[in-house]
Amino acid sequence: MRTGEESQGVIGLHQTGIPDEYEPSLNVRFMGISEQAVTSYLVSAYYSAAILVPDAVGVLEDVEIGR
């Protein structure tokens, strides 16, 4: 994958204006407090990618990843 506009690759896009936005593309929502006094939040990130030209990405087939 080529990245960047200068390389005619893939660029990341942020979604702004989402409800409960903490930072661009990131929202934090208060979910409540448990009986054990644990505070819970739901943190969601919203990102997209734009492929600027068809050959900016490739597909690998029959690939195994081992540790």
* pLDDT interval class at 53 (50, 70, 90): confident
pLDDT in tens, 9-52: 888 888 788 888 888 889 999 999 999 999 999 999 888 888 88
CA 1 to chain centre: 17
Tell me the pTM.
0.53
Report how far apart, in Å, the C-alpha atoms of 1 and of each of 6, 14, 48, 56, 61 are. 14, 19, 15, 6, 15
* Token code pair at residue 32: 């409540």
* Token code pair at residue 66: 């081992």
d(CA 38, CA 18): 26
- Residue 67 domain-assigned (yes or no): no
For 45, the domain range is 10-54
- Residue 62 domain-assigned (yes or no): no
- Residue 21 domain-assigned (yes or no): yes
